[in-house]
């Protein structure tokens, strides 16, 4: 589904990604972990077209995407969320949802003026879908609230809902559970598993090891921009190198947080 081959990305003085290769299989839930600053978000930004890569290749369904701008990557069926909410705050939750669908006729000026009937039809269809998805992320009561008035956790849920409106084949989630309360978290995970059964592919950054071991088929571990391990969640928790990476200095706290036994 998604194939990353030897990708490099440097910022001034820092190698953020140093030859990362990985593969996300169709219909899988793949996790990406690593200490702060290990390059996880940078990898997401490079894959989704927001940062140009320095070297390497990225393929989506066998098609090369590493030269495309972000909007075209999204058009090919890869959508991502942001670690920090980017939701337009002066738009309501529903407006946020309705923004997302691809191929909206009413976004073209010609149709907006002269294809009113078809646009209205599509809008109604999208509205129904939005309301359905909002109830599954438990935001239905806030439908007409400004996104800016939501809590951090609710914004994460909105981001997930919005991305489902866009209906991509592969979804990249950047820390989807951070700030979401534990009960909601569980239903979120169930939602992700249900969607996987419907054929969606997930690739996500996560700090909560419980979430990782509960639903991930495969986990990649980054440290200092390099892939240091890959495997099932069970294998990762036993991996010597992973433990060592997390035990070194500042990462100690992080390892405690994710529940790797130190």
Partner 1 sequence: MLEYLAYLSIMTGIYGILSLSLNLQYGFTGLANFGHVAFFCLGAYTSTILVVLVKGPFILGLLGGMVAAGLFGLLISIPTANLKEDYWAIATLAAAEIVRLFFLNEDWIFGRGPYHGGAFGIGGIPRPLQSWFSATTYPFFYLCIVILCLVLTYFTVRFLTNSPFGRVLKAMREGDDLPLAMGKDVSKFRMKAMAFGGAMGGLAGSLVAHFWSFIDPYQFMPIETFVVWAMVVVGGKGNNIGALVGAVIIQFFYISTLFLKDFIPIDPQVLASLRMVVIGVLIVLIMLFMKEGLIKEKKRVYQR
Taking the least distance from each CB to partner 1, the nearer of 102 and 256 is 102
CB atoms within 10 A of CB 63: 10
Which neighbouring-strand residues pair with 31? 204, 219
Q: Which of 18, 25, 54, 123 binds partner 1 (CB under 8 A)?
A: 123
For residue 196, the number of C-alpha atoms closer than 13 Å in the C-beta half-sphere is 19
Q: How far is the CB of 34 from partner 1 (least distance, A)?
A: 22
Q: Which of 20, 22, 29, 119 binds partner 1 (CB under 8 A)?
A: 119
Task: Point out which span in 28-36, 59-67, 124-132, 233-241 binds partner 1 (CB under 8 A).
Answer: 124-132
DSSP secondary structure string, 66-124? TTS-HHHHHHTTEEE--SS----TTSBHHHHHHH--SS-GGGSHHHHHH-HHHHHHHHH
Instruction: Single out the residue of 177, 163, 172, 240 nearest to residue 28, CA to CA.
Output: 172
Q: Which of 5, 140, 166, 228 binds partner 1 (CB under 8 A)?
A: 166
**What distance in Å separates the CA atoms of residue 23 and residue 115, rounded to the nearest whole number?**
43
Residues 87-116 binding partner 1 (CB under 8 A) are 87-92, 94-95, 98-100, 102, 104-109, 112-113
Under the binding rule (CB under 8 A), the answer on residue 157 touching partner 1 is no
Give the footprint of partner 1 on this chain (CB under 8 A): 48, 50, 69-72, 74-75, 79-82, 86-92, 94-95, 98-100, 102, 104-109, 112-113, 119, 123, 127-128, 131, 143-144, 146, 162, 166
């Amino acid at each position: 589904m998604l194939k990353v081959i030897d990708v490099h990305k440097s910022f001034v003085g820092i190698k953020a990604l140093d030859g990362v290769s990985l593969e996300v299989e169709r219909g899988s839930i793949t996790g990406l972990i690593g200490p702060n600053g290990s390059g996880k978000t940078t990898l997401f930004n490079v894959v989704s077209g927001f940062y140009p890569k320095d070297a390497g290749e990225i393929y989506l369904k066998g098609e090369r995407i590493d030269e495309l701008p972000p909007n075209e990557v999204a058009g090919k069926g890869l959508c991502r969320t942001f670690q920090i909410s980017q939701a337009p705050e002066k738009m309501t939750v529903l407006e946020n949802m309705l923004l997302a669908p691809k191929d909206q006729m009413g976004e073209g000026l010609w149709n907006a003026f002269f294809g009113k009937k078809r646009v209205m039809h599509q809008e109604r269809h999208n509205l129904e879908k939005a309301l359905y998805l909002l109830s599954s992320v438990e935001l239905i009561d806030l439908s007409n609230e400004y996104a800016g008035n939501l809590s951090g956790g609710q914004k994460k849920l909105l981001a997930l809902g919005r991305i489902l409106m866009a209906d991509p084949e592969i979804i990249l989630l950047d820390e989807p559970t951070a700030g979401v309360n534990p009960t909601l978290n569980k239903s979120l995970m169930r939602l992700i598993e249900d969607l996987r059964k419907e054929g969606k592919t997930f690739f996500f950054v996560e700090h909560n090891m419980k979430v990782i071991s509960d639903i991930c088929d495969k986990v990649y571990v980054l440290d200092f921009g390099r892939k240091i391990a890959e495997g099932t969640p069970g294998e990762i928790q036993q991996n010597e190198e992973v433990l060592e990476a997390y035990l070194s200095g500042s990462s100690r706290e992080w390892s405690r947080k994710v529940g790797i036994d130190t």
